[in-house]
Amino acid sequence: MSGKRPDGTVLVGVDESEASLAAVRWAAAEALRRGARLRLFQAGLREGAGAEPRAHRWLSRAAQVAEEAAPGVATQPVVRAGLAVDLLVEMSRSVSLVVLGSHGLGGLRGAAIGSVALRTAACAHCPVVVVRGRAAAGGAVVVGVDGDERVGEFAFEAAASRQVPLVAVRAWRDRRSDRPGRAGEEDRALRECIAAWADKHPEVAVRTWAVRERSAGRALMAVEGAQLVVIGGRGRGPVTGGLLGSTGNRLLARAACPVAVVRRVSR
């Protein structure tokens, strides 16, 4: 699979939880918006006569939920045996987006809450959206600007496809005492950083917010009424604990709306 080029498919993880059904609803709407197929995926630690029919029953339920959320969306059920994280990371090489609920995934019973989402977001080869909280209808897309073009591209395209404003945020801190004009300098630097994407998407209303704040995560969560927060990732290879850094971990644990993680990776 590693040799395949990614297609437009949106992949969503399904298990027997309400969190995964929330992810299915979000993913179905996103797939329909993109004109893409929605792949409904369930993992199991082992194959068995009882496991397969049960998995397909849940995938059938997920397909119904997807159709209710986004009538006309094309769905494809997939059941594979193995560890959910390993399978999701493998499949992320050939899809455009992975969507997960904020809690677990079938086949990882007893794992720490959020372990699948954290580790997949840290290791995937495409953007990952973790669906948590509630996306505010008509709310802005909020992006943490870190200079990564892939993050800017994802955020502006998300705002454009939803026809909503974009709020570009960068937290800065100065160990020295305040000096006149520092806030203005930071705002100008932020505007310069997103200028190319703003020019490419003139239809997107952009607001910048350069804030003196030690925590970028707190700054991003301070934007009220967001429907999606977009951040970058550290881009390290496979890791044991799903490390995204303090900003990513904070947002995936506490954000009030879905969070998209866009990593620097090479296929």
Domain identity same for 17 and 73: yes
Q: pLDDT, tens digit, for every residue of 74-116?
A: 999 999 988 999 999 999 999 999 999 987 554 444 333 368 8
Q: pLDDT, tens digit, for every residue of 98-108?
A: 999 987 554 44
Percent of the chain residues past pLDDT 70, beyond the cut? 83
Please give the residue that has the higher pLDDT: either 229 or 6: 229
135-138-140 Cα angle (round to 5)? 75
Lowest mean pLDDT of 13-17, 181-185, 204-208, name the range: 181-185
Spatial contact of 164 and 138, defined as CB atoms under 8 Å apart: yes
Q: Select, from the ranges 38-42, 80-84, 119-123, the one with the highest average predicted confidence (pLDDT).
A: 38-42
Range of the domain at 181: 140-262
Residue 70 in this model has a pLDDT that exceeds 80: yes
Tell me, yes or no, whether 182 lies in a domain.
yes
CA dist., res. 130 & res. 167, Å (int)? 19
Domain identity same for 125 and 191: no
Domain identity same for 109 and 29: yes
CA distances from 242 to 112, 188, 233, 249 (A): 12, 34, 11, 9
State the first-to-last Cα distance of the chain, in angstroms, to the nearest integer.
11
Tell me, yes or no, whether 267 lies in a domain.
no
pLDDT at position 179 is 65
Domain identity same for 179 and 121: no
Domain identity same for 118 and 197: no
CA dist., res. 263 & res. 260, Å (int)? 10
Among 54, 56, 125, 131, smallest CA distance to 87 is for 125
